A and B are shown apart, each in its own frame.
Chain A
Amino acid sequence: MRIVEADIAIVGSGAGGGTVAARLAPLVARGKRVILFEQGPRFDYRRFNGHELEMSRMLYREGGGFMVADGTVSLAFVEGYGGSTVVYTGTSLEPPARIIERWNLPGLSPDELVRRARCYAQDNGVHALPAAQINENNRLFVAGCRELGWNATQFAVNTRGCLGSGLCNLGCPNNAKQGTHVVQLPRAESRGVEVITRARVMRLRERRLEVEVGLNPDGSPGEWEPGNYEVRARRVILAGGVVGSTTLLLRSGFDRTLPAVGRYFTCQPAHILVAEHPHPVQNALGHPKSFLWDERIESDHFFLETCMYPPFITAKNMTGFGPDHERFLRRFDHLQMILVLACDEALPNQRIVLDRRGNPQVRYRLDSRTIRALVGGTRAAAKIFFAAGALRVHAPSARPTCLETDARDRIETRIRTEYFLPGTVSVSAAHLMGGCRMGRSATDSVTNVDGQVHGYPWLHVADASLFPTALEANPYLTIMALADRVADAVLDKEHA
């Protein structure tokens, strides 16, 4: 076992880890050694060819098929330089004030988080796309909402030089999307932060990390020789994402003193819905997302966004099979798509545990509130589809799942909670949150409001696992804002 000394060790390079690395980089000029460990490889964007099976295998944990323990929801996240920011769509929403207020954490105000988020928005090229770059799928969404008297809101995305290839979730082939792999990590490295990829932190002891370094996928060595290392660091910042950070704490036995580790997991489960139009719908071209509708988020716990997915992901996420299912796929270039996202409740028994081999297992069940939200969202989406002129709509919680235009006045009765069969209805999630939630005490939380783990002054968390509840919005800007706060707290301590 080789021994390495460092001042600060960061685990993970996603939205949280990339932010912290960039913020702590100036410490290197003051003689401190800052090392970031990332278990995945560096990706070369020139290899992103948009082929969904190949890219899913290259980028996503378990090829995108990581399932919760009861098999009813698939969770999408990435292991690699930049973490899930390599595949996120770049929907850039500010921290929602009502949720931050509900968290009621001393010293954490919505205004402060929004201010921090805006700095990152500026840094990462966040802007609303001009009308000329809004594709037809997005325009149909707006038209459908308008027809219903609903107010679709345009949100900003984080691109520079976007060519509109619509492949954001398979890795941007034009390096236009401004994830941490494009903005924060290269900046941190240029200022001396050492980023060691293919380096999985296996366990954590008092100021010590056990790290296993492997080879790159093509067999070439990474920054460090393959082998086992013990890294001695005065301070450790976990930013391994919800599954990564929680697993590390559980594997290292922190749940013995912190019973909340792994608990209060949420993931904003989602349905991908499609509808067929009589004319071709341009959706494969143009940035996939620009509009949302969230007028019923507080009463019915769902919101809708525009989206685009390639054929297999669409086929998988639709429900069922056979002629009806196939007919939608055969008319792929006529499809309008909407994503329904449910705001799930943070509950102590929705949790990440370890299986007998020490691997993460997500014990998560779709509860009745979440199912109602998905069904409510499906009804709203069906109304938008028809209002936008669709001929038929695929609704997972209808029987049969295909609704023709004559069903447009009977949507409430055709789409029903009783028809939502977990295990048959496809549900996926990409907004993982919680597991190391912030709070006031060690009884029901893992860290304080600055991300410092209760009772361990040398250990911090700076990623989506900090969220006490679901954010009820796309989370990356809020994760960066929280990680920025954590970095400030660390810098204060280092200066002291």
Chain B
Amino acid sequence: MLYLVSEYLRYAINFPGYREQQVPSSGPLERREKWLRPLLEAMVPAARGLDRQALERVLRLSDAILLDRPAAIRHRAILAANLIRSLVRLRCGPVSRQKAGCVAARLARLENSRSRNIRLALWATRTLLMAGYYGDPQRQKAELGYRPQLRGWGGCREKTTP
């Protein structure tokens, strides 16, 4: 079993024989929403409050990042997310029955996995999801209190100059 998993990982992370045309689609948004939501919520607990539309926005922003990457990288990112999804499912059951605590615990274990490839797959998935969540200018402003100040001190000198 361990051997099979490690072989799959080798394939997933370092898939050697890709061709541009073979890059898999990461599937329609609605389908992905289902299984990405528990992962996102475990990584960014505040995402529990997201309605469908907001979740869709997160995923679209993550997708946009992937679009720029070479086909091989897109391929690996998608395989990585699928791998994490499968490993979570193996422990926590199908999405409809997954408990938040189980998913979080599973991901925490994967993060410290002895296999570097599993750790990398998790890192890649987390990074993509966080791009969609924390990279959103609207959320940055509304929830994190961050807004790029193009004119810097000039924009609000009285309040902020030391």
Q: Which residues of A contact B (CB under 8 A)?
A: 48-53, 57, 62-63, 65, 67, 70-72, 132-136, 139, 162-167, 170, 173-174, 282, 284-286, 310-312, 314-316, 320-323, 325-326, 329-330, 332-333, 359, 421-424, 426
Contacts and interface: CB of A to CB of B under 8 A. Distances in A.
B70 to A, nearest CB: 7
Contacts of B23: none
A314 B131 CA distance: 10
B28 interface: no
A170 B146 CA distance: 15
Contacts of A326: 44-46
B107 interface: yes
B27 interface: no
Contacts of A63: 65, 68-69
B contacts with A: majority SS: helix
Contact of B149 (A165, A170, A314): A165
A30 to B, nearest CB: 43
Interface in B129-154: 130-131, 133-135, 137, 140, 143-154
B119 A421 contact: yes
Interface stretch (B29-37, B49-57, B88-96, B108-116): B108-116
A286 B131 contact: no
Contacts of A50: 148-150
Contacts of A133: 153
Given A51-B148, A71-B13, 11 more contacts: A48-B150, A51-B137, A67-B73, A165-B148, A165-B150, A311-B146, A312-B130, A312-B131, A316-B127, A321-B111, A423-B116
B47 to A, nearest CB: 9
Contact of A321 (B107, B117, B147): B107
Contacts of A310: 140, 146, 148
Contacts of A315: 130, 133-134
A424 B112 contact: yes
Interface of B: 13, 42-46, 61, 64-65, 68-70, 73, 104, 107-108, 111-112, 116-117, 119-120, 122-124, 126-127, 130-131, 133-135, 137, 140, 143-156, 160-162
A173 B104 CA distance: 40
22 contacts: A50-B148, A51-B137, A57-B64, A62-B69, A71-B123, A136-B162, A164-B154, A165-B150, A167-B148, A285-B149, A286-B152, A286-B153, A310-B146, A311-B135, A312-B130, A312-B134, A323-B45, A330-B144, A332-B144, A421-B112, A424-B119, A424-B122
A52 B134 CA distance: 10
B144 to A, nearest CB: 4
B61 A53 contact: yes
Contacts of B135: 52-53, 311-312
A71 B9 CA distance: 14
A57 B65 contact: yes
A51 B133 CA distance: 14
Contacts of B108: 322
B152 A165 contact: yes
A284 B152 CA distance: 9
B128 to A, nearest CB: 10
B100 to A, nearest CB: 11
A360 to B, nearest CB: 11
Contact of A322 (B45, B120, B155): B45
A354 to B, nearest CB: 14
Q: Which of A163, A282, A325 has the most CB of B within 10 A?
A: A163
Given A311-B144, A426-B123, A164 B134 contact: no
Given A132-B162, A163-B154, A315-B134, A333 B116 contact: no
A48 B148 CA distance: 11
A320 B130 CA distance: 11
Given A310-B146, A326-B45, A423-B119, A53 B152 contact: no
